[in-house]
Amino acid sequence: MSQKKKKQSRKPAKPDNSPAEKRENPEDSPQHNVLRHWPWAFFALALLYVIGGLMPPKSRVELDHVEWGKFPVLKGGRTKPVDSLARNTLRKISHREVVPLEGNAPNGEWGNLIELKEKHPEGMYYRRWYQFGKRPKKLQATQWLLELFYQPEIADQRFIFRVDHPDLAGELNLNRKGIDLSGIQFFSFRQLQPSLGLLSEKSGKISQKNPMQRDPHENATYKLAEALHTYMKMRVSLQANFPNIEGGLKDHLDALKEVVPNAAEESRKASAGEEHNQDQLKRIESIMRPYAAMADDSSPREKSDKIMIVPPMEANKNPDDWHKVGESVLNSVRSNMQAEAEDNSTRALTFHPALEFYGRMGAAFTSNNPKSFNAAVVDYKEWLHKNHLGPELAKVDKEHYFNHFGPFGKSKRLYVIALVLACLSWLSIKKGNGAGSAAFYLVGLAFVIHTTGIMFRMWLEGRPPVTNLYSSAIFVGWGAVILGWLLERMYRNGIGSFVASIIGFCTLLIADKLAMEKDTMEMMRAVLDTNFWLATHVVIISLGYAATFLAGFLAIVYILRGTLTKSMSQEIGQSLCKLIYGTVCFATLFSFVGTVLGGIWADQSWGRFWGWDAKENGALLIVIWNAIILHCRWGGFVKDRGLAALAIVGNIVTAWSWFGVNMLGIGLHSYGFMGAAFNALKWFAISQLVIVAAGCLPLQYWASGKQLTGKTDSAA
Amino acid sequence: MRNTKLFKALTSLKLTVTTLSLSMVVVFLGTMAQENMGLKMAVDRYFKSFFIDHIAIEAAWNKTTQLFGSQPDPLTPEELRNAKRWPVFPGGYLLGTVLLVNLLSAYYARFKWTWSKLGILATHVGIVMLLVGQLLTDLLSVESFLSLRVGDRKNYSESFDYTELAFVSSLNSKSNQVMSVPGWKLRQDKKIADPTLGNLELKVNQYWVNGVPQGPRSLADAFKMRQPSHHGEDSPAAMAVDEFKAFARDQDPPPRTVKDLKALIDDFGRVDRRLTAAEWLGIYQNQRGQGGDFVIRMITGQIAEFIATRGKEGPLTPREMANECRRFVEALKHRENPPDENVLRNLTSLINDVAAFCQQRDMTRFVRDFSAFVEDKKLQPSGADSGLIAKRYPWVEESPESLSMDSRNLPVTSVELVDNGKSLGTYLFSARMISQEIEIGGKDTKVSLRPKRHYHNLYMTLIKLQFEKYRGTDIPKNFESRTLVEPSNGGASRVVDIYMNHPLRYEGDTFYQYQMDSDQMRQASRSSAFQVVENPNWLTPYLGCLIVAFGLVYQFMAHLVGFVKKRKAA
């Protein structure tokens, strides 16, 4: 059949023009003509949603926290916008990127949470899913960080600390005293403050324990203690927000400017036993002590994770000369006193301009003066440009825009809608129905955004798509979506869209969970720092994972649709099995080539092609499993049902190799045991085995058994 | 023959699937066993063996059940190594052999050449190459370790796992004669007489797989390491250690048994530690003010003046000296013109510090803690009586045998050397210690227990080491060693930079930069480490992989083209 004819055959038959026919066939009514374009209308709506997200972000309040969020800071070895710092911190503490300000009192009263809390010590809860009319005010991550930096006494009252385990809240005497969200309680720093000592002691003991042997209560305690540590560290990273220290950054800088000049002479007199101005030295000491604490990095933990807010003075000459605020203040005071001591003079104390600008912003923020705040933001930005930090600014600007656009979140939502539409398409008897088309278009759109997100990340990092576990989740999803979408393009039966959207959604959900732990654009260790192998081995093995999952999910469709619905005809069953077989071939090719490239990389790095490392063994398991499926098929040991069952077991093997082996604490790819992740993995494996067991039921018990019996499958 | 049952079974796809399925089990269990057994032992017992024993299976099973919340005790190195073992499951070599035989016999029985089978054929040829290549690598490759400080020049690397007792004597000004006895022989045999050793006979008294020679001073140092330091200053217990070391040095004869040592510690505690006020204050000044701090000097001066006015210069016990300081505080408070409140508070705090410092010089606590520390060590007598090491270290502290790849076992042995039937004494040798000079057969011979050496056809000198971390983190960014490579045969030397993923290949040997973490970097203090691999077979896996990849791509493309054609035709 020619291409032209084929195109024509897909279109619905041209309606007859006779008025009688028009009356009899409701599909030919003008109303129907409009309705049959609804998939495109749906697509247009989704497109509008995406385009809406492309608009550059703007602050909705007068105080320009958006521009403030674009300032560069150095953390984790890379410069990033304050916005990323704020989001990552809030995600780690709260598992969210916003802080809801409003919720419900136990009597259903709606209002500001802090105010309601004063009246109702217990039983408060966040917006319930059915409260469609309520849209709580929220603090964006940057607004929250601004508050934490400059008005910590208010930030301390925000309910951001997530406590997963109900017993933990009881142990801290906080039962029902948090804000409830579907059984999870959120507490404020102020509520948890009395328990800091207890939590620190407990987490110290828990950290000595093998992560595999921690129970859920210990995990929750450890996580909460870590969240509190992160919060307290962030609280004092710009301003000396210690207890009993009054004033903000600007006040402290001004005070030091007043007392430090001539201090060298007084200090000399003190050490010579001469009469001196003791008050002056004491005042310097009292202001400097908290900044010295902020500068202190004697603990290995602090040393390995500094938050450096003060940029280099001459960025073109010393691009790496970033400092912590405490360090910068100490350096300025010390060098001033040293210079005074050297030439026996009195000098005016000057600080790094960034400190002055941040001080101004802080003063404006606390005095609720948005104009002055915005002016300080503009001035600092100008100074950064003058100080040759233009390229850094451009880089963090891009990341800020990427954060705002949130391509993976958008794709995830579109995949869910596509998934629902794909399922709906199977309910319709008619082939080529609207829901199927809408699902197909939406998967395509979500895929384009997914791809854009990956490319944007590659551009930002200057790296191939997969650099860590987070990006591997995104990329594996991407690979499965494109393969699924191509299958849908060929067969147009809803299966490709279904499988693509479910894998796309699940992998992005996994990526979301992984993003809760740490920065998703972390720096590469020396041994991994090679774009060539990242671009070849890692990409290809990820495609191997994607294809194995795709085959597994197609097999799930085969078994669930066959056992639970009557919609599985012999024709559909056969074509599905062909798809599974083809995908397994593709998976074998990619997983083998990827594994081999990994071996060559290992040979280049460690001097051996194959070392039986846990991750290498994981990859080998996938290759062997795919080989087993193919040989079983070639030998006729399995037919359609057996092939599907084996492909589903492939899901378990791949999930184990992808995540499981990393959690064993063995070998070169060990990322540490993640209790929650391992539980998820366990349940995933169990679910797959249940489906395999369902697939092993004799065909007479399948809902579509009658259609499938006969030629299709007599021996699995 | 082709019609025999055995041949049919050998060529069957069922055998292929069964072997592959068993391989899955072996690979999974071999991974799980690695935590308890260590990588090397797990690889040997699972993949480089024909059968897997029940102990190895138990190690894997323990780890598997651990994932599901159970907390089984890991097997001890002793159980893993020495317990009676029963083969219960086919091992890697057996499965590899069966797979190979199955594949080759299937081709022998059924192969008919067609272009469409090229992909499958190439894939299988590549797999055969990979299997045989892995076997050859197992048999032929040798891995070792080369550690160089800046300026060091070496032509040898050292084994991770094997040690040797080396006897080095000078032949002439340019060359040495080296004889060596492998560590495993020292472990196994009680008596070693080898033609290569000439008239020398070794009687192995004892062999510790992993141990630390210990003596009074090394124990004191180990105890000091455990004491917390405050802001870089030694704690009182740590300071007492230095005094104890000086005390122990003067003992003659030195303690030979643990009982003697504990008696020595008790004796130390009983020493009358009376010093004059000036001596007490001098020690304080040195410890706290490092001699130069103005405030410390001022305070100690005032205390000395006060004690002098009371006529109590000493000698004073620690408690008496502390009491004198406290009296001074009281006197300050009750002066006619007392200093203002702030000054008084600062002075009081400082003088109390002097008092506490002196009082803590009371050794009762030190004696108690140090004795308990020695007791905990479970020291064993070395049994050696000759040589410097035996003299300084009369005991051996046995450490558990390490199976991990991240740490090495450092053996200790005490050996009686018998030359021409005459005993030269029993010596203690340790892989942690340098060589001892012993006269053997009239020649001065340097004897040491050291990692087995592998000599290469080059001399390598470390010129510069570069270690960069990402700013504000401990994440290693780059390890790079600039080395001077000089061929042993006198060829032209060259400067080579070796860094991550860029090894140096030289005449069949490959030198890889080893990535250390921050702790290792601190310990290694400006030394670079290289992993050295000698593998004449390194090219085989590359070729095998290329052929398999070609085969798979060919086969996949053939299917794809066929599928597309069919769809077009439909």
pLDDT for A233: 92
Instruction: Chain A: give the shortest CA distance to residue B150, in Å.
Output: 21
Please state, in angstroms and rounded to a whole number, the distance separating the CA atoms of residues A78 and A461: 10
Question: A238: pLDDT confidence band, cut at 50, 70 and 90?
Answer: very high
Interface pTM, i.e. ipTM: 0.80
Residue of B31, B32, B137 best to disrupt the A interface, most CBs of A under 10 A = B31
Q: Which chain B residues are Cβ-neighbours of A584 within 8 angstroms?
A: none
Query: Got the DSSP string for B513-542?
Result: EPPP-HHHHHHH-SEEEEEEEE-TTTHHHH
**In the structure encoding, which two tokens stand for residue A506, read together?**
């699940």
Residue pair A141/A66 in contact (Cβ under 8 Å)? The answer is no
Query: Nearest CA to B533 among B493, B497, B505, B564?
Result: B505
**pLDDT, tens digit, for every residue of A79-105?**
999 999 999 999 999 999 999 999 999
Contact between B192 and B416 under an 8 Å Cβ cutoff? The reply is no
CA dist B322 and B305 (Å) reads 15
Residue A21 has pLDDT above 50, yes or no: no
Handedness of CA A275, A277, A282, A288 (dihedral sign): negative
Q: How confident is the model at residue A3 (pLDDT cuts 50, 70, 90)?
A: very low
According to DSSP, the β-strands at B527-534 and B142-149 are antiparallel
Closest CA to A507 of A474, A482, A467: A474
SS3 A423: helix
For residue B368, the distance in angstroms to the closest alpha carbon of chain A comes to: 27
pLDDT given at position B376: 87
Q: Do B510 and A607 touch (CB under 8 A)?
A: yes
B382/A212: higher pLDDT: B382
Among partner residues A305, A322, A614, which is closest to B34 by beta-carbon distance?
A614
Residues 6+ apart with CB under 8 A from A310: A322, A323, A324, A325, A327, A328, A352, A354, A355
Whether the CA torsion A514, A518, A521, A523 is positive or negative: it is negative
Nearest to B35 among A603, A605, A665 (CB): A665
Contacts of A582 in chain B (CB under 8 A): 559, 563
Nearest CA in chain A to B144: A607
Q: CB under 8 Å to A38, separation ≥6 — which residues?
A: A434, A438
- Which bin fits B420, alpha (ψ -120 to 50), beta or left (φ > 0)? left
- pLDDT tops 80 at residue A255: yes
Q: Is A318 exposed, middle or buried (0-12, 13-18, 19+ CB in 10 A)?
A: exposed
Residue B29: both structure tokens together: 């269990």
CA distance A698 to A260: 88
Nearest residue to A90 (alpha-carbon basis) of A74, A69, A71: A69
Give the 3-state DSSP-derived string for A300-350, with helices as H, strands as E and coil as C.
HHHHCECEECECCCCCCCCCCCCECHHHHHHHHHHHHHHHHHHHCCCCCCC
Q: Tell me the pLDDT tens digit for each residue of A146-168.
A: 999 999 999 999 999 998 888 88
Determine contact, residues B181/B165, Cβ cutoff 8 Å: yes
> Average pLDDT per run of 10 along chain B, which is 570 residues long?
78 94 96 88 93 95 84 84 89 94 88 83 90 86 88 91 90 82 88 83 91 90 74 60 80 80 84 78 73 70 86 82 88 75 76 81 78 88 88 89 77 92 91 89 89 92 88 83 90 90 86 72 71 86 88 85 77
Percent of chain A whose predicted confidence (pLDDT) is above 70:
91
Beta-carbon count within 10 A of B534 CB:
18
In eight-state DSSP terms, residue B360 is T
pLDDT at A18 over 50: no
Q: Which of B396, B438, B412 is closest to B179 using CA atoms?
A: B438
pLDDT at A20: 44
pLDDT at A12: 42
Q: How many CB atoms lie within 10 A of CB A82?
A: 23
Q: What separation, in Å, do the N-terminal and C-terminal C-alpha atoms of chain A show?
A: 36
The token pair at B550 is 């070609």
Q: How far apart are CA B328 and CA B324, in angstroms?
A: 6
* Residue B221, Cβ density class (10 Å: 0-12 exposed, 13-18 middle, ≥19 buried): middle
pLDDT at position B519 is 60
Contact between A220 and A161 (Cβ < 8 Å):
no
Q: What is the mean pLDDT of chain A?
A: 86
Chain A interface mutation, best of B341, B468, B473, highest count of A Cβ atoms under 10 Å = B473
Quick one: which of B296, B272, B292 has its CA closest to B284? B296
Is A627 close to B20, i.e. CB distance below 8 A?
yes
The reported pLDDT for the residue numbered A2 is 43
Among candidates B166, B119, B123, B144, which has minimal Cα distance to B530?
B144
β-strand partners of B176: B170
The Cα of A24 is separated from the nearest Cα of chain B by a number of Å equal to 35
Contacts of A331 (CB under 8 A, 6+ apart): A323
Give strand pairing partners of B495: B484
Q: Which residues of A touch B552 (CB under 8 A)?
A: 588-589, 592-593
DSSP letter, residue B56: H
Q: Is A256 helix (H, G, I), strand (E, B) or coil?
A: helix
CA distances from B194 to A666, B198, B199, B427 (A): 42, 7, 9, 19
DSSP one-letter string for B173-234? SS-EEEEEEEHHHHHH-SEEE-GGGTTEEEEEEEEESSEEEE-HHHHHHHHHHHS--BTTBP
SS3 B160: strand
Closest CA to A113 of A122, A103, A126, A98: A103
Nearest to A621 among B16, B28, B510 (CB): B28
What's the pLDDT score for residue A628?
A: 96
CB contact under 8 A, B13 and A634: yes
Q: How far apart are CA A176 and CA B100, in angstroms?
A: 66
Which among A516, A670, A497 has a CA at the least distance from the CA of A39? A497
A416 against B518, higher pLDDT: A416
Instruction: Using pLDDT thresholds of 50, 70 and 90, give the confidence band for residue A676.
Output: low
B447 with B429: CB under 8 angstroms?
yes
Assess contact for A588 and A540: CB atoms under 8 A.
Answer: no
Give me the long-range contacts of A413-416 (CB less than 8 A, separation at least 24).
Answer: A414/A46, A414/A442, A414/A443, A414/A445, A414/A446, A414/A449, A415/A442, A415/A443, A415/A446, A415/A481, A415/A500, A415/A501, A415/A502, A415/A504, A415/A505, A415/A508, A416/A501, A416/A505
First to last CA, chain B: 46
Most confident of A267-271, A294-298, A609-613, B480-484: B480-484
Task: For residue A541, give both structure tokens.
Answer: 């093995």
Confidence bin at A607 (pLDDT 50/70/90): confident
CB-based contacts of B342: which residues, under 8 Å, 6+ apart? A278, A282
The alpha carbon of residue B425 is apart from the nearest alpha carbon of chain A, in Å, by: 44
Interchain proximity B476–A588, CB inside 8 Å: no
Contact B134 A610 (CB under 8 A): yes
Residue B307 CB contacts under 8 Å (≥ 6 apart), including other chains: B277, B313, B324, B328
Residue A6: its pLDDT value, please? Answer: 43
Contact A228, A92 (CB under 8 A): no
Calculate the alpha carbon distances from B545 to A211, A256, A308, B551 in Å: 38, 68, 47, 10
Separation between Cα atoms, residue A97 and residue A409, nearest integer Å: 12
Q: For A483-512, what is the mean pLDDT?
A: 91
The answer to whether the beta carbons of residues B374 and B258 sit under 8 Å apart is yes
Q: Supply the DSSP string of A467-529, one letter for each residue.
A: SSHHHHHHHHHHHHHHHHHHHHHHH-SSHHHHHHHHHHHHHHHHHHHHHTTS-TTPPPPGGG-
Instruction: Locate the chain A residue with the closest alpha carbon to B60.
Output: A664
Are A328 and A306 in contact, with CB atoms under 8 Å apart?
no
Whole-angstrom distance, CA of residue B500 vs CA of residue B506:
17
